[in-house]
Structure 1
């Protein structure tokens, strides 16, 4: 298992502090969970049914021609390599580590490349994987650039896989509407924007033949009835979605300002997190953990290449706690 943010129980055990006493800003999940709609008894008693409107709601929300519901976009990340017999895969890095891991595990030759290196390597690749906006850097690549890469891959029967897990706040940059194109696959995560990661829901957007093959690989009844009901309610709530985008944008700007006030101006970020490369990453991570604040640490080749990702605090008390933590850390250094 690769390490991810949100491992609060492990941190609580390691540092000897009750889970309830922690401030967890280690993930890129919205800290305000959507209100859960009533779950009817039949949703628990029956097998999930595909004619409940979820697919149509997802197509409308993502502006996509078709959508395949998944038990989290992670399911597609693991299944897509099984739909090809082999080849060379480029993964624009640094990014969510499960992508490279899944292709390597399936026996593909994987090259991790920087965004500015893609044009040089692209003609030697069969598949290119891009996280857009990137996690953890927040880099947002323009749709036009991605479509150019897709066109070069498609000429040779290649794929462009775009993980848009953090795209909900910037829908104009999504390629969901372009997924009629052969070999263009867009993955969307539900739980991050809606603050409901625990329901495990995601979507694959692609041409019909590829979605059918992916559905066969995932298997029947992959998304539970209660999850489908929750997803349908959230994806149909346009007013709530607009309020969430505004709230996330305001909180992200505030977080960037808070970090800058402590000489940690973000190196990158998006609506759901801010990211900073700093030699303080490891000592600040430990300092915070000993005080019950969980950050996300990324280890680099040396101290100067290490980084921290900061998620959004939920309440005024949480904002104050993070502010005080950073103040105290730098005060101890002087």
Structure 2
């Protein structure tokens, strides 16, 4: 029998598909308010592009993880890590590093976690935050791998560092691992569980894209024990990141003054956005997004799209996630959301 192409697995829905929205609902890109990806509207590149000069080598030479990049990662995050092409690259390959396992995943969180572990033949069980907490409190049943997203996406819920540290200890008694996706935590780094004495069974994923407004660089970092980092690096293969991406990420990670200013303006804008949404069913938020519970969430997404506002729809949970809005755009968003509460 001739070899066959493997079947294509069902894809996970994502935000950041503005081209689809334009094709379906019309309008020029400049007319749209894109809130679908929850990437910061304030970009390090936009603030620094006039003074950035790329070295010729980042385009000419094959990329390599040099000592300066590794030192910059350690200085910013406080611990050595493995740079990857966005945290998605690690999410996709990490399940290949383990033998068949039972995996608990925070239900309703970033869908690629469950999908990627299932695709590699692992048994995936999706649990709510309350169910996870009760299971570890009872201490009678543990998975091989626990995956949490902290803060939650789209819920904005937070697990405490104390709980996560305790669960990692409990998992260690059965040879298990805790994976924590911290893609949205850079605005509040004090909530991170990263530490130079991180236990060997803890794996943390970080992303440059959301906080720095640099999602197009595809730069993330995986923090784990040496053997897990080596296993992941071997499976990802050589030259996983473009030289220009690594160099630019390094400049952003070193820019402490910009990071402080970014945290301040994200805090101010997210506070103003939460205040503007008080008359709606706001069920969760972070410094980079607000999430509303909406009765007919698919219809709500369409209504907003008809007014050139593109959002992220979570149909199963009935949630609509809105990326951070700059102050001058808040009134437009609020007035359009008002239409959801009016009969057609």
Distance 2:249 2:67 in 1: 11
1:233: which partner in 2? Answer: 251
Match of 2:322 among 284, 287, 310: 310
Choose the corresponding residue for 1:292, options 273, 286, 308: 308
Matched, 1:327 2:343: no
Report how far residue 192 of structure 1 moved: 0.5
Q: In the alignment, is the contact (CA less than 8 A) between 2:281 and 2:293 conserved in 1?
A: no
Cα distance in structure 2, aligned partners of 1:215 and 1:266: 40
CA contact (8 A) 1:252 1:312 kept: yes
Q: Secondary structure at the match of 1:5?
A: coil
**In structure 2, how many angstroms separate the alpha carbons of the residues matched to 1:119 and 1:172?**
22
**What TM-score do the two structures reach when normalised by structure 2?**
0.90
Shift of 1:49: 2.5
Q: How does 1:106-255 map to 2 (within 5 A)?
A: 106-121=120-135, 123-177=141-195, 180-255=198-273
1:42 aligns with 2:57: yes
Contact 1:93 1:112 in 2 (8 A): yes
CA distance in 2, matches of 1:283, 1:254: 26
CA displacement 1:149-199 (0-9 Å, x = unmatched): 111111121110000000101111111115641110000000100001001
Supply the distance in 1 between the matched residues of 2:327 and 2:33 (Cα, whole angstroms): 10
Aligned to 2:4: none
Shift of 1:121: 4.3
Match of 2:7 in 1: none
The answer for the alignment partner of 1:101 in structure 2 is: 115
Preserved CA contact (<8 Å) 1:285 1:297: yes
Structure 2 residue ranges without an equivalent (≥5): 1-10
Report the 3-state secondary structure (helix = DSSP H, G, I; strand = E; otherwise coil) of the residue aligned with 1:80.
helix
Measure, in 1, the Cα distance between the counterparts of 2:165 and 2:194: 12
Report the 3-state secondary structure (helix = DSSP H, G, I; strand = E; otherwise coil) of the residue aligned with 2:40: coil
- Cα shift at 1:17: 2.4
- What is the CA-CA distance between 1:134 and the residue it aligns to? 0.6
Provide closer, same or farther for how the CA distance between residues 229 and 320 of structure 1 changes in structure 2, counting only shifts above 3 A. Answer: same
- Report the equivalent of 1:57: 72
2:288 aligned with 1:272:
yes
The Cα RMSD (Å) is 1.6
Q: Is the 8 A contact 1:132 1:139 kept in 2?
A: yes
Give the C-alpha shift of residue 256 in structure 1. 0.7
C-alpha distance in 2, partners of 1:325/1:169? Answer: 28
SS of alignment partner, residue 152 of structure 2? coil
Provide TM-score, normalisation by structure 1: 0.93
C-alpha deviations, 1:17-51, integer Å up to 9, x for none? 22222110112110011124322221100011222
Mean CA deviation greater in 171-180 or 151-160: 171-180
Residue 39 of structure 2 is matched in structure 1 by: 29
Report deviation, 1:323: 2.5
